[in-house]
Structure 1
Amino acid sequence: MNETQIRERLREAVGETRVPPDLRNRVEVRLGSSERMKGGSLMFGFGRTASVAAAVLALLLLAAAVIGIRAWHDSLVNSRPASPTVQNPTVSQYQAMVSHDEVYALSKQANACAVLGDACPTAEPLLAAALQKWLDDLNGTRPPSRFVYVDPELRRHVAACIRDLRAALAAYNAQDQKGMDAAIGAAVSERDTFSAEVDAIRNSRQASASGYASAVRSDQAGLTNCVACQTLAGPGQASCNVGDDFCQNNIVVAMENIDALQGDLVRDFAPDASASKDARLQMDVFAADQGLVAMDVAWSAHDQTSLQTARDAFRQAFARVVSDLAAL
C-alpha cells in the first residue's frame, strides 16, 4: 500500500473532509487581491505551523497503529470540550460575546509591522490567536434571528483579516516591503469593516415606525447616489472586465455601500408591522453582497466568465433590494 492509499484510508477512518482541489488557488486569489487596498498599521501573522503539522501527523499515525484508527477517533471526539459555552445565545448574550471578542482582539494590535526592521514575528502570535478565538466562537454559535445575515459577513471579514495578516508576515519574512504594505492595508480595511458590523450588533434596537421609515428613505437615497452600485447594476451598465482596475474599484465601493446598508438594518431593526418585508430586504441585501464577493474573487482570478455570472447575480439581487426598499 503506497502513501496516497494510506492517507485515503486514514481519511475514511476518521471521517476527515477532503481538501478541495482548488483550495491553493483560492488562497492565492485572496492574497493577490490585497494589493488594491490602502495602507495602515496593524500586526498579524501565523506562527510556526509547518513543524506543528508534522508532529500532529506523526501522532495520528502512531495512535492508529497502537489502538486502531476508529477507536482512537471516537475517543478524540468524545474528549473535546464544548465550545463555545453558549451555542444558542439570546440577543444580549450574542451581543456580549461579539463585543468582548472584538475588544480583546483589538487590544492585541501593535504598530510592530510597519517597516521591515520591526518585530513582526514577535508581535504576531498574540493578535492572530485572539482573532482565531473570536472566529471559533462565531463558528460555534447559532446567531439569533436578528443577526442571521450579518453574522456570516462578520465571520468572513474576521477570517479575511487573519489571511491578509498572514500574508503581511510572509511578505515581512521575504523582505518585501511593498507586499507587506498591501497586505496590511487589506487587513486594516477588513478590521474597519468588522468593527462597523460589531458596532451595529452592539447597538441593535428595534426602531419606531417613524424612525424605521426615515432610515429606509436614507438607505434609498444612499443606493441611488452609489455611483459604483449603479455602474455595476443599473441601466446602461459599463463593462467590467478582469484586469480593469476601474471595474475592481467599483466592486470594492459597492461592497462598502451594501455593507453599510446591512449595518443600518441591524442597528435599527424593523418594527413588528414591517418585520416580514424587512426580512425579505435583508435576504436580498445579503444576496447582493454575495454577488459582489463572487465578482471580487473572479476578478482576482482573471476569470471573465465567472465575473459576468457573478455580476448578473448582483444585478438581479440589487434590483430586488431597490424594490424591497420602495415597498417599505
Structure 2
Amino acid sequence: MSSAAATPLVQAAHRGRITVYAEPGLEDTAQDLAEGAEAALVRISADLVDLPVPKAIEVRLVRDSSSLNAVAPAGRGAPQWAIGVAYPDLGILSVALRRGHNAVDAMSTLRHELGHIALGVALGNRAPRWLHEGFAYQHSGEWSWERTETLAGMAWFGGIVPLSELDATFPAAELPANRAYAQSYDFVGYLSRRGRYDDKYDDGDRWPFKKWLTEIGRTGNLDLAARSAYGKPLNELFDEWRGDLTRRYLMVPIGLFGLAIWIMCAILLGLAYWRRRRQNRKRLAAWEEQERADDAVIAAVSPEPAAPTPQWLN
C-alpha cells in the first residue's frame, strides 16, 4: 500500500492496472474484484475519448464500511455513510462488503468508484459534482426503487432543482431518495442516451455524450461542449430532460391504473366463474336428488315384472 492504515491490509490480487489490498481472509473476493475491475475500466474509458486515463489504481477492500475511514489515505478520511470512496487525484479507492448487517454488491460499488476515478483523471476539477455522480452511476449498474419513487414524485409534484443550483444541494449523507443524486443520475443518463439531434429513435451510439466529455476536457466549458456535441446549450438540454422525465413518470399512474382495472376485471371474472360453478354443482345435485326421488316413486307403484319369455326354442 502507498500509505499506512490502522486496518491491516495485504496485497491480495493484481490484474492489469488494478492492485487490490484486502483484509486477511478476503483474498478470493479480491481476486474476483480485480478480474472485473480491469474489464470495467476498459468500458468506462471508452466514454473518455482522447482524454487521460488512469495508469494504475489501488483498491482497498474491507469487510465493513466502518473500516473505510481507517484505510483512507492519510488526511483524507471517508464519510460515515459510504460503502465506497474514491480519491481520483491519488488513484485510490476503497470498497466495503457490507454496512452493518446489510451486505452490498461490492462489484457494483467498485464500478461506481472506478467511474469517479476515471472521470477525475480525464477532466480533473472541470467536472461538477452532478456530472461526477451521474457518470459513475451510468457504469455501476445500480438501481434503487427509492430513487425511482423520488423521480416520480419530482415529475408529479415538482421540485426539480435548477442545474445551476444542483451541486449545492448534495447532502452530507447520501440517501437513495435524495433529489440531488436521483436528478444527477437521471439527467446524465438522458445525455448518454440522447443522439446528436432531438430524436427519441437516435441514441447516437453514445457518440454525442463521448464528444461532450471530450470537449469539456478540451475547453473546460460544459455549455460550449454541449453546443458542439448536441447542437444545444446545456440549459436547453436540461429542459429537454425535464420534459422527458415528466412524460416517462406521468405515464406510470396511467399504466398502473390500467393494470389495476385489468386485475380487478380478472378478479371479478374469476369470482363469477367460481360462483357459476358453485351454482351448477348445486343445480346438478338437486337434479340428481330429484331423479332419485322420482325413481323411488316409480319403483313403488310399478307391478312385479313378468318372467322373461324364452327367445330361442328347440
The two structures have a TM-score, normalised by structure 2, of 0.29
The higher radius of gyration belongs to 2
- Pick the structure with more helix per residue: 1
- Pick the structure with more strand per residue: 2
Q: Which has the higher contact order (CA 8 A, sep 6+)?
A: 1
